[in-house]
Structure 1
Amino acid sequence: MSKRPTPKATLSTRIADQLRAQIVSGTLTPGSKINLDHLRSQIGVSISPLREAVARLVAEGLVEFEDQRGYAVSPHSLADLDEITNLRVLLETEALHAAITHGDLDWESKVMGSIHRLERTPRAGAVDWEAAHSAFHMALISGCGRPKLLEFCTLLRRQHDRYRHIRMNAELRAAQADRVDTEHRAIAEAAVAREAEHATALLRAHIEATATTLRAQLRT
């Protein structure tokens, strides 16, 4: 039987989850300083789990550390967005291809269940929709059988989502909702039909279409 996590590990994980959500949503803006002493007083924790939590976010590319300057939320830039997009296309399409090749009936059920939930979740409930959206993209690649690849895909999608949350306002998201919904359904159906080349091409176009919109917003 596996050991239960220590209270310290549980606390650092919870802090990391809270900070990650604030960074990805844009509540903590790109380039903003992360003052550990202020956070320690605000949250009411010791410095050790806080350092562990922030170090985890550094490893995920959401926080940067510089000598003499401390921690700060990673900045936004066109070059960074392009790198994230290119890597996401490369790795996520590879994971989807592997999932289509190796995924079983449970994987198919997970994909169709996730697209059903996504389509039935109102966009007005942004938090719920975002959770369903993330679950859909993870379901697509969950059958690849490559845990490390899934981990990298998750990190890249979070970084991409951060750009989307910060650079796309509600009006812009609403204008693109029909396109996004159509693309999600097409990817899911091609995936469970085992049309690997078609499904990966659709996923690539889906990721790049969002990136094109984000690039335009970054230039304004």
Structure 2
Amino acid sequence: MESSVKAAGKPTMAGQIEVQLRHDILHGILAPGAKLNLDKLRSSMDVGLSPLREAVTRLVAEGLIEAEAQRGYTVTPISVANLNEVCALRLELEPYALRKSIENGGLDWETAVMGALYRLNKTDRIPGDPVSLANWEVANNAFHLTLVERCDMPLLIKMYKSLVSMNDRYRHIYLKAVAVQRDVIDEHTAIAQAAVERRANDAAALLARHIERSTNNLRLLISADLPENPQ
């Protein structure tokens, strides 16, 4: 999701700052609800205020930072209600995007889907091992993006990536200290097989069930940690 890239392919300064801030937010280094002091951030990151503001503005648009008049910037808080909203939007958008990919994608797309599945299934996810967890996250996101990217709808893909970032933040924060909740190899395999076999209804239903199961696991953890949050 490193969108801030010049035509020549070299990230701009704002793009580099955006990548770092996104990483720190998604992994809980910048805690949910934390106030962001731009002067302190500028000093600690040794960057200029202008590119920092540009990066923060992009993350506001992405939903990871909130801006409030006269009160500055805050890392978007986490809550069960927010997770539920992210899940609801994913359930609307992702199965639709997958259906469109099945319509539009050819042999190259089928090959890409099965290749991404193979890489994901061959990537270990070891609780307590941050390197393996990070590698699995990359492979997992690549697989899911490959499934839907041939919807050929840039705005939809932009919204999809934003929702995935918000969902990933919950997973990074809450699953880094606990065991992997379930083995999803069979789920991913079933989705991929239905997709490349052009069984659009089955593929969309399997993807929706996969999203719901993942969200339910996170919801249980968050509800235990934030019992006062509205459901």
Classify the TM-score, shorter chain.
Answer: over 0.9
What's 2:157 paired with?
150
**Partner of residue 15, structure 1:** 17
Displacement of 1:172: 3.4
Deviation at 1:151, TM superposition (A): 1.0
C-alpha separation in 2, matches of 1:196 and 1:4: 36
Higher-helix-fraction structure: 1
Out of 159, 171, 176, the position equivalent to 1:164 is 171
Shift in CA distance, 187/159, structure 1 to aligned 2, threshold 3 Å: same
How many residues align structurally?
214
Aligned 1:113-132 pairs, distance under 5 A: 113-124=115-126, 125-132=132-139
Amino acid at match of 1:127: A
* Shift of residue 67, structure 1, vs aligned partner: 2.5
Gaps of 5+ in 1: none
1:207 is matched with 211
**1:185-204 deviations in whole A, cap 9, x for unaligned?**
11111111111000000000
- Contact 1:98/1:143, CA 8 A, preserved across alignment: yes
Q: State the alpha-carbon separation in 2 of the partners of residues 45 and 68 from structure 1.
A: 23
Cα 1:128–1:169 change in 2 (3 A) is closer
RMSD across aligned positions (CA):
1.7
Separation in 1 of the partners of 2:29 and 2:94? 27
Tell me how far 1:6 sits from its aligned partner: 11
Q: Which residue of 2 aligns with 1:80?
A: 82
Alpha-carbon distance in 2 for matches of 1:4, 1:191: 33
Give a deviation string over 1:164-210, Cα, whole Å, max 9, x none.
1112245332x41x2x2211111111111111000000000000111
Decide which of 98, 108, 111 is 2:110's aligned counterpart.
108
- Which residue number corresponds to residue 129 of structure 2? none
CA–CA distance in structure 1, aligned partners of residues 34 and 8 of structure 2:
32
Partner of 1:98: 100
Displacement over 6 Å in runs of 4+: none
Q: Any stretches of 5+ residues in structure 2 without a counterpart?
A: 1-5, 127-131, 225-231
The aligned counterpart of 1:68 is 70
> 2:194 is matched with which residue?
190
| TM-score (normalised: structure 1) | 0.92
Contact 1:63/1:71 (CA < 8 Å) preserved in 2? yes
| Matches of 1:168 and 1:44, distance apart in 2 | 31
For 1:212, give the aligned amino acid: N
